[in-house]
Structure 1
Amino acid sequence: MAKPETFSPALLGVALESEATKPAYQQLYEQVRDLILSGRLPTGARLPSTRSYSKELGLSRTTLIAAYDQLVSEGYLEARRGAGIFVSQFSPEHLMLVNRAAPLVLPKPVAARRPLARPVPFAIRATSPADFPGAEWARLLQKTWRGPIESHFGEPHVEGHPDLKVAIADHLRTWRGISCSEDQVVITSGSAESIDLISRVLCQPGDKVWLENPGYMPMRREIAEKGLEPVYVPIDREGMMVSRGVELAKSARMAITTPPRQFPLGMTMSLPRRLDLLDWARSTGAWVVEDDYDSEFRYEGRPLAALMSMDETGRVLYLGSFSKVMFKSLRLGYLVVPPDLCGQFHNAHADLGPQASSVAQPALAEFMTSGQFAAHIRRMRRLYARRRALLLDQLLEKCSGLVTPQPANSGMHIVVSIMPRLSARHSDVEICRTLHQAGIEAQALSSYYAAETSPGPAGQGLLFGFSGFEEKELETSVSALAATLLCLAEA
């Protein structure tokens, strides 16, 4: 008979408040993080499995996984394949020393980590104000406010401004091959609100949801907060492995996927894989959420049609956002639902109330219908293609033997593999910490994997964004990157 798993005394002291305003996963994340920072959970300590610890705390395993994922993504914990979850190997100068009996001590490296006014290379998904047609956007906003002011002070349209809904439907028909009416378009404040609506209308607590692994971390947290059970489906060169998803949970209620460009790895889902996914949804009555987060930026070849344009049985919902093409603070996105679901989503949206600001919506509608939106996309596509090509050339020239870029023909970031000379000494998380101290931003690929599904060496890598940075800035930053990586390799 297997011995019961033992717990660190510090972890036994974790207590969650059921009446707190913070969700349970966030309370757990904060308490475990504080235990690590204070030293009560020492470096190298093994954490209990999510199954046994969730029973100890009286939580759902999904909630615990969400907390572990967040701690892994921020570098507090690390997953070791076949061994479990452990406290990361922090060096003393990397820690924020926490002592509840004494004032907070901030060593110099931590004190320097202040929010920056603008992103620095190689932050992913960055956009630059210099690249945006700000004067024209300001003119459209002013024009909106010169119209009948009464319309701005009444109740906002529940599902978004009618003109914007029409403009989005026209845009999708032209750019993504999706034939939809404006009635199927729901304006939201972004993917979080869209997923909230979808889960309310289509899911029940405890339903299983396929998620890509590696995948977008905030999506995991959204699913966990809704009481849904994530099923982590691995990725190969053709995208989400549908056959593996069927093995893990054939009766899952929903699959959330990024067919045009898998995040973060970057491959396009193949046509056979798309057909397999649609066939699974049709045969089981499941739903597929197509998250099309940056398909506008494809630099080589013709993109495959959107998954929704191939759906003949009304099982696909389509997520879109303006934050990558326009700017993040716009906080406008949209959801396209099958015709049969329009009424249900209208009622759910009415119950919640609109969260997207209505002020910018008329201006955005005119920006799209006038052709300026499409022109802006084409201009940014050319600009980003040059920056991507330069970054690839610079990495090959200056970082040879340290990192190797992986092929990518679209998107706003690239993934690089870490060569043995460097990977033998440091994990991708450790490399990112050192780069951060040198003023260089990068993302560790391993942090995008679910905490309990460590990918091993194959999941080690770095993400470098290029979209929001001038070419000269990229050149200078690659030189600094090469010098820092060389020091790490020779340390």
Structure 2
Amino acid sequence: MKTSTGVASSLLLRLDSRSPTPLHEQLFEGIRARILAGALAPGLRLPSSRQLATELDVARSTVLQAMDALTAEGYLVAQAGSCTRVAPELPILSGDRSREPGLPAAARASTSGKGPRLAASTRALKASPVGAPRLGAAPRAFRPGVPALDLFPTALWARTVSRVHARASTGLLDGGDPSGHAPLREAVAIHVSVSRGVRCSPEQVFITAGTQQAFDEVLRLALNPGDSVWVEDPGYPGARRAVLSAGGRPVPIPVDGDGLDVGEGLARAPRARVALVAPSHQYPLGVTLSLARRMALLQWAERTRSLIIEDDYDSEFRHRGRPFTALQGLDDAGCVVYVGTFSKSMFPGLRLGFLVVPPSLVDVFSAARAAAPAPASTLEQAALALFLAEGHFARHLRRMRAAYRERGEALLEALYADCSGVLTPHPCDTGMQVCASLAAPLSDLRVRDEAARMGVEVAALSDYFLGRRRESGLIFGFGGVRPDALREGTRTLARALEAARLRPPQLKGRTR
């Protein structure tokens, strides 16, 4: 009955005494939902608390508690010495089924067909590929980007964390410096200066919650809406997502055996505001930016006053010889922001990284951080600072270089043994992944899906192209997999390759 002069003889409510939600909360939500749905009209008189308690077989105190809460939030109006009514001027939200009592929030949102307006760039963000599907939580062949978690010194790290927690000062417990824990900034400055040839002081180092936060922070400070950004093609999908999130326009620049084609970048977007590159170990192809192109890139940035974001995610893991000097070490004009992470060198759950900004931008980044919370747990930052200062991190890196060399060689040997003639692996002398070209006419997307059905993760090179796809291939991660499991994985992959060859192509599917 929906009349402002009538009485609701029954609220048609049902309470569940077995539910973990208290009865008064169930009653509150039930009445509120019916008011919002329009089933209880504005001004409608409700039954007395005694009548409701009898109808619902609950204590009167339960009813009174729910009614008091509804009155406090403005849904009901209690008239002294009289009755309780639905608020007479309550605005009812539009839609009918979208406000049905008991309908889940997600379903209510979906039935309306509308939602808040978002930036146009979110359409491109939603369309960005997400790569290979994860098959369970544990690392397996050949999940890209996973370090050798089985070799991480967990006990040593736990003792380091315990020492920091036991000695934690009020400064550590208070949240810390928004720019990062000072001892960690100093330890990072020393480490990258020695190991990567980065020229910096601790004041230029800002701690982040990983690579993605570093990209977001730099791009939001550098870009105006619609500004062009060079991104490697094929390249890391997280880079283009960061550009879109910051309102920029990613411009795909081809990558060949010498790295990013700077000449092509000058032709496609000569006045781009930012270039986002991985010069020491490009992902996913694994190539290195040649010296000639490094110099051309720096000259372009200086001439146009553009910014270069150097993504140095895993080049510390050069299997033989010393890692290449960072691009930042060649920068005399202050155009390069150097980005590093501990997620690959330690473990992904640590979620700690850093960026090194040119001296001229220290004040800008400090001001941007001033009103922000600390980028990560100060206690974890302090533990990592101690881990670096005591030499544990350097020893861990040396051990990982040897392990990745062994695992990389084992993977290449297994691919040649089991998949020769179908896959051609690229050279692998750095990091934790290998790219392999796939013989035509096999589709890397189809191979990826066949492998997933057989329990093997492998990424399709097609997913890493933003522009026109120029090559079909597969990306293999080997960092988190032992050599014997790698060989077992290539045998399974060989069966997946054969299944993909025999399976007819779908009439409807993804095209590039």
With structure 2 as the length reference, what TM-score do the two structures score? 0.74
Cα deviation, 1:233-291, whole Å, max 9, x if unaligned, reads 11111111111111111111111100001111110000000000000001111111100
Aligned to 1:18: 116
Give the superposed CA RMSD.
2.0
State whether structure 2 residue 417 is matched by structure 1 residue 405.
no
In structure 2, what residue type is equivalent to 1:359? L
Task: For residue 137 of structure 1, give the secondary structure of its aligned residue in structure 2.
Answer: helix
Task: For residue 379 of structure 1, give the secondary structure of its aligned residue in structure 2.
Answer: helix
Show the 5 A alignment for 1:41-60: 60=120
Change (3 A) 1:231 1:490: closer
Aligned to 1:275: 295
Aligned to 1:481: 493
Per-residue deviation at 1:18?
3.0
Task: For residue 352 of structure 1, give the secondary structure of its aligned residue in structure 2.
Answer: coil
- Native 8 Å contact 2:328 2:336 kept in 1: yes
State whether structure 2 residue 441 is matched by structure 1 residue 441.
no
Change (3 A) 1:266 1:74: closer
CA–CA distance in 2 between the matches of 1:271 and 1:214? 20
Percent identical residues:
38
- Native 8 Å contact 2:339 2:356 kept in 1: yes
In structure 1, what residue type is equivalent to 2:138? R
State whether structure 2 residue 343 is matched by structure 1 residue 323.
yes
Per-residue deviation at 1:148?
3.8
CA–CA distance in 1 between the matches of 2:131 and 2:277? 23
Per-residue deviation at 1:17?
2.8
CA–CA distance in 2 between the matches of 1:267 and 1:16? 45
Cα deviation, 1:11-31, whole Å, max 9, x if unaligned, reads xx9966335xxxx4xxxxxxx
Change (3 A) 1:334 1:138: same
State whether structure 2 residue 392 is matched by structure 1 residue 372.
yes
Task: For residue 434 of structure 1, give the secondary structure of its aligned residue in structure 2.
Answer: helix
Aligned to 2:471: 459
CA–CA distance in 1 between the matches of 2:131 and 2:187? 39
State whether structure 2 residue 373 is matched by structure 1 residue 360.
no
Tell me which moved more, 138-147 or 218-227. Answer: 218-227
Cα deviation, 1:46-68, whole Å, max 9, x if unaligned, reads xxxxxxxxxxxxx64x4433333
CA–CA distance in 1 between the matches of 2:115 and 2:244? 18
Match of 1:225 among 233, 239, 245: 245
Tell me which moved more, 382-391 or 225-234. Answer: 225-234
- Native 8 Å contact 2:175 2:377 kept in 1: no
- Native 8 Å contact 2:461 2:475 kept in 1: yes
Per-residue deviation at 1:137?
0.4
CA–CA distance in 1 between the matches of 2:288 and 2:192? 19
Aligned to 1:67: 126
Aligned to 1:263: 283
Per-residue deviation at 1:478?
1.5
CA–CA distance in 1 between the matches of 2:431 and 2:394? 17
- Native 8 Å contact 1:189 1:357 kept in 2: no
Show the 5 A alignment for 1:12-411: 17-18=115-116, 24=118, 60=120, 62-70=121-129, 73=130, 116-411=136-431
CA–CA distance in 2 between the matches of 1:315 and 1:276? 13
Cα deviation, 1:122-165, whole Å, max 9, x if unaligned, reads 00111243210111101100100111442332132111111100
- Native 8 Å contact 2:147 2:347 kept in 1: yes
In structure 1, what residue type is equivalent to 2:158? A
CA–CA distance in 1 between the matches of 2:205 and 2:326? 16
The structure whose RCO (Cα within 8 Å, separation 6+) is larger is 1
Task: For residue 499 of structure 2, give the secondary structure of its aligned residue in structure 1.
Answer: helix
Task: For residue 360 of structure 1, give the secondary structure of its aligned residue in structure 2.
Answer: helix
CA–CA distance in 1 between the matches of 2:256 and 2:197? 26
Match of 2:480 among 440, 458, 468: 468
Change (3 A) 1:328 1:486: same
Change (3 A) 1:205 1:114: closer
In structure 2, what residue type is equivalent to 1:267? V
- Native 8 Å contact 1:260 1:306 kept in 2: yes
CA–CA distance in 2 between the matches of 1:417 and 1:266? 13
Cα deviation, 1:393-452, whole Å, max 9, x if unaligned, reads 1110111122121112111110111123xxx2x4111110110010000000010011xx
Change (3 A) 1:485 1:224: same
Task: For residue 312 of structure 1, give the secondary structure of its aligned residue in structure 2.
Answer: coil
Cα deviation, 1:21-47, whole Å, max 9, x if unaligned, reads xxx4xxxxxxxxxxxxxxxxxxxxxxx
Task: For residue 211 of structure 1, give the secondary structure of its aligned residue in structure 2.
Answer: strand
Per-residue deviation at 1:390?
0.7
Q: Larger radius of gyration, structure 1 or 2? A: 2
Task: For residue 199 of structure 1, give the secondary structure of its aligned residue in structure 2.
Answer: helix
Per-residue deviation at 1:483?
2.4
Aligned to 1:427: 443
Per-residue deviation at 1:74?
5.5
Per-residue deviation at 1:331?
0.5
Tell me which moved more, 388-397 or 219-228. Answer: 219-228
Segments of structure 2 that go 5 or more residues without pairing to the other structure are: 1-110, 504-512
CA–CA distance in 2 between the matches of 1:367 and 1:241? 39
- Native 8 Å contact 1:387 1:467 kept in 2: yes
Tell me which moved more, 193-202 or 332-341. Answer: 193-202
- After TM superposition, the runs of 4+ consecutive aligned structure 1 residues lying more than 6 A away are none
Cα deviation, 1:184-219, whole Å, max 9, x if unaligned, reads 000010122212221232222221111111111122
- Native 8 Å contact 1:197 1:349 kept in 2: no
- Native 8 Å contact 1:234 1:241 kept in 2: yes
Task: For residue 459 of structure 1, give the secondary structure of its aligned residue in structure 2.
Answer: coil
In structure 1, what residue type is equivalent to 2:183? D
